[in-house]
Chain A
Amino acid sequence: MSMKELFAPMKEPMIFGAGISILVGAIAIVVGLTYFKKWGWLYKNWLTTVDHKKIGVMYIFVALIMLFRGGIDALLMRAQTAIPENGLLNAEHYNEIFTTHGLIMIIFMAMPFIIGLMNIVIPLQIGARDVAFPRLNALSFWLFAAGAGLLNISFIIGGSPNAGWSSYFPLAGIEFSPNVGNNYYAWSLQISGLGTLMTGINFITTIVKMRAPGMTLMKMPMFTWSALITNIIITFAFPVLTVALALMTLDRQFGTKFFAMQDGGMDMLWANLFWVWGHPEVYIVILPAFGIFSEVISTFSRKNLFGYTSMVFSMIAISLLSFMVWVHHFYTMGHGVMVNGIFSITTMLIAVPTGVKIFNWLLTMRHGKITFTTPMLYALAFIPIFTIGGVTGVMLAMASADYQYHNTLFLVAHFHYVLIPGTVFGVLAGYHFWWPKIFGFRLNEKLGKSAFWCIVVGFNVAFFPLFILGLDGYARRMYTYSADTGYGPLSMVSFIGALVLAVGFALLCYNIYYSFRHSPRELTGDPWDARSLEWATQSPVPEYNFAIVPHINQLDEFWYAKKEGRDITAGQYERIHMPNNSGAPMWMAGVLFLFSFFFVFSVWSLVIVFGIATLGFMAYRSFEKDEGHHIEVAEIEATERRLRGEL
């Protein structure tokens, strides 16, 4: 491939502009870090950290950047379709944008945001000093970051994937998508997926093996439960994606015939493999949000969670069912009545445990003393809006009716009505809720609530019209339509809603700056008068999490101890063993990034070089002598007193 072809996407003015702005931004960051002499600080404190809290913050930082990338894609799509016969984007560019929008929002925004929150909260909720494998955790993050980087450079170098986020064959095959876009798809998902799999293994081990003494499974906070189940789904679902993507690479770059149209290939095999991973993936991003809502609703209703056991079992039921519904993504692609019937029933069954959870949340609030904080507002808005998403989901679940809705905007409206109030409201509630734990000050409530109202109103204005347009027959992924279809007015309404939504997200970010400048320092460690263990330690949380690991006798031990005036973190300090920082995860992910990048362009010599370098890093890790370090009692005492504001 010549240089001219390589940078062909830059010929489009909009992409050129975006490319230049990325370059300018990158130069500004480099110059700023150099000018303020912050390179050493950045490397020592962040890039090489193995601290689960800092890794969590980095996950969420990258997720927010990706939210803006994906959000700009969304705004461009709504702008293009706001009026009939619009010429803002051409068909090719529109294809790329809806593909990357889906990929980025699911894989590089929702997942890392959730994994970031898990990283921050889970070890604290179970009273652990870190995750089971801190170094592996850092590698997970850097692999995710490498994957995100790889997908994002695709639109400047070589061209973005453009066959939809589900990349069905034969469209995604080399015949119909000859540019490197889909190679980028395969490799960016592959390396970030490996990171996710490692996260899954790490958190299962952490939650199963490292809980505080006395914390039996049924005394775990609900978010920890949701995280455990989610990580089990991750561990079982991601290997399927690994294989599917490897087969995609083989088909596209080595001429195998898995999904080919001749020599026995089976294009539907891709759709099946993709959704065997893809549907559990939906629950990977929704179950932790359910966990967050459970914590938030119970905290701000001042009541214990209603139906704890049924909450746990409904999540287990959802996780099992999530592996048995994948065919509902392609009812119309020619299976028999029998197959469609079975998958129809399993899909509708999911509404049962989900309904149980909705009623549990409602009953938790009943007779509660509800305080309307920002996280609680998100939780309150979630219940009715998500229910609309759920009900339309049951409509789509009926195979025969689905022939009417399939591939229309009705479907698009449905899954945004599930994913935005579910996942996005969930992570935003968690973000506001746990912010003071990490940074030691609260986000401004007034700005937080303004952002909330913009987001909730903007979301409904943007997506409700899509239900109606879909029922009128507006097919998804169409880059434009003619005026006589009558789709114009509602599409314009939807665009206006998208703009309001964008204002909401801008306010959300402004709130970080504003609160950083003006918010008072939080010294209690428990600003919300909350229930679970993470609030028992200081804010911001010291490196070792708990100076004394508490003993747990019941669910919400911390809450009851507060009421009874007991201090569960009292005791004699002992020196604490902690893992050492290491730059190896970042450099190894960097090497894998280059490996993948050259694989995308089939530059085999460099693929081999960086492949061997990756093995070299693994050997280095195996031979490395790393005993960790100890934090001495004097240092713990000083830290504890400083965080309580006594020094």
Chain B
Amino acid sequence: MSKENKSVPLEYSTEENELKIFGFWVFLGAEILLFATLFSVYFALVDRTGSGPIGKELFELPPVLVETFVLLTSSFLIGLGVHAMRIGRTKAMIVFYILTLVLGAVFLGVEINEFLTYIHDGATIQTSAFMSSLMTLLGTHGAHVTFGLLWGSGILLQIKKRGLNAKTANKAFIFSLYWHFLDVVWIFIFSFVYLKGVL
């Protein structure tokens, strides 16, 4: 397991690393199913608003556009981070990863604010089946982002302490896959929840 293959990027360089990346792709397959189920639930319940608000009354596009812009940019930055890692620029990589996490935190802040606005307007998770499914879908995505912030910070600490090696590079790369995945899920939320909702 300690044998390193120099002809591939550091994060793929050991057999163990390769297994971990493959396994994580399979895990992302399971995550797709998880979100697909939540989307199905949302589509099944989207018109079942009871006495609560409908999407059109609820959604405000400006904060959603901010969220979209922030998250997409963070995904781009983590891509730059992985590129920096591959050419061995550890410092640049750490900066890109920190910026990614900062933008993730901004996204989370805007989303929490959005939730608070809904609740302030009297639309809670208990109001109607529509509200339950909406807040569960968004909340699950938000919980993933929150977990990502903790996870990403942990990996940054390890790189800071132990430098860039086969293990830490592997972790940083897998984290970037996770982060891109959350971005993809957000694109679906943006298109099929918000845009479809306000149209």
Q: Give the interface of A toward B (CB within 8 A).
A: 132-133, 197, 200-202, 204-205, 208-210, 235-240, 242-244, 246-247, 250, 254-258, 260, 262-266, 269, 273, 276, 577, 615, 619, 622-623, 627-628
A259 — nearest CB in chain B belongs to which residue? B129
Contact A254 B125, CB 8 Å, known A201-B23, A247-B136: yes
Given A266-B44, A269-B41, A577-B1, 11 additional A-B pairs, CB 8 A? A201-B23, A235-B26, A239-B33, A250-B132, A255-B125, A257-B127, A262-B50, A264-B45, A266-B48, A273-B41, A622-B158
A258/B18 contact (C-beta < 8 A), A239-B30, A250-B136, A622-B154 known: no
Give 3 nearest A-B pairs by CB, closest first: A264-B48, A263-B50, A264-B129
User: Which chain B residues lie closer than 8 Å to A200 at the CB level?
Assistant: 26, 30
Beta-carbon contact of A258 and B52 below 8 Å: no
Cα distance A208–B23 in the bound complex, in angstroms = 10
**Interface contact B154-A256, CB-CB below 8 Å:** no
On whether A263 and B129 interact (CB within 8 A), knowing A201-B30, A240-B33, A622-B171, the answer reads yes
Taken together as a complex, chains A and B put the C-alpha atoms of A615 and B154 apart, in Å, by 12
- A263 touching B52 in the complex, CB below 8 Å, given contacts A247-B41, A269-B44: yes
State whether A622 touches B136 (Cβ < 8 A).
no
The answer for the CA separation of A367 and B27 in the assembled complex, in Å, is 45
Known contacts A265-B129, A266-B45, A577-B1; is A243 also within 8 Å of B37 by CB?
yes
Could you tell me if B41 and A258 are in contact, using CB atoms closer than 8 angstroms?
yes
Q: How far is the CA of A208 from the CA of B22 in the complex (A)?
A: 9
Taken together as a complex, chains A and B put the C-alpha atoms of A545 and B175 apart, in Å, by: 33
A209 touching B19 in the complex, CB below 8 Å, given contacts A239-B30, A243-B37, A254-B126:
yes
Asked if B38 is at the interface (CB within 8 A of a chain A CB), the reply is yes
Least Cβ–Cβ distance between A252 and chain B, in angstroms: 13
Please name all residues of chain B whose beta carbon is closer than 8 Å to the beta carbon of A237 when the two chains form the complex: 33
* A273 touches which of B23, B37, B125, B129 (Cβ 8 Å): B37
Contact: B125 with A209, CB < 8 Å? no
Are A258 and B50 neighbours in the complex by a CB distance under 8 Å? Answer: no
Q: Is the CB of A266 within 8 A of B1?
A: no
The answer for the CA separation of A269 and B157 in the assembled complex, in Å, is 44
Does the CB pair A239–B37 fall under 8 Å?
Answer: yes
Q: Enumerate chain A residues within 8 angstroms of B150, measured Cβ to Cβ.
A: 615, 619
What would be 20 A-B contacts, judged by CB atoms less than 8 Å apart? A197-B30, A205-B19, A205-B22, A235-B26, A243-B34, A243-B37, A244-B37, A246-B136, A254-B125, A258-B45, A258-B132, A260-B129, A262-B50, A263-B50, A263-B127, A264-B129, A266-B45, A276-B37, A622-B158, A628-B1
B153-166 vs A, Cβ < 8 Å mask (1 yes, 0 no) = 01101100000000
**Inter-chain contacts of A622 with B (CB < 8 A):** 151, 154-155, 158, 171
Distance between B34 CB and nearest chain A CB, rounded to angstroms? 4
Q: Which residues of B line the A interface, CB within 8 A?
A: 1-2, 18-20, 22-23, 26-27, 29-31, 33-34, 37-38, 41, 44-45, 48-52, 125-133, 136, 150-151, 154-155, 157-158, 171
Residues of chain A within 8 A of B33, CB atoms compared: 235-237, 239-240
**B26 lies within 8 A of A204 (CB):** yes
C-alpha gap A432/B48 in the complex (Å) = 54
Q: How far is A201 from B29 in the complex, measured between Cα atoms in Å?
A: 10
Residues of B within 8 A of A247 (CB): 41, 136
Question: CA–CA, A250 to B134, complex, Å?
Answer: 13
With contacts A209-B18, A235-B30, A266-B48 known, is A133 near B23, CB below 8 A? yes
Q: How far is the CA of A370 from the CA of B1 in the complex (A)?
A: 44
Contact B34 A264 (CB under 8 A): no
For the complex formed, measure the closest distance between the CB of B58 and the CB atoms of chain A, giving whole angstroms. Answer: 14
Residues of B within 8 A of A209 (CB): 18-19, 22
Check if A269 sits within 8 Å of B126, measured CB to CB: no
Contact A577 B2 (CB under 8 A): yes
In the complex, what residues of B have CB within 8 A of residue A132's CB? 19, 23
Please judge, given known A-B contacts A263-B50, A263-B52, A628-B1, whether A256 and B136 are in contact too, CB under 8 Å: yes
Per the bound structure, the CA–CA distance linking A628 and B48 in Å amounts to: 55
B22–A623 contact, CB under 8 A? no
Q: Which residues of B contact A133 (CB under 8 A)?
A: 19-20, 23
Q: How far is the CA of A468 from the CA of B1 in the complex (A)?
A: 61
Residues of the B chain whose Cβ atoms lie less than 8 Å from the Cβ of A246: 136
Judge whether B26 and A256 touch: CB under 8 Å: no
Cβ-defined partner of B26 (8 Å) among A205, A260, A263: A205
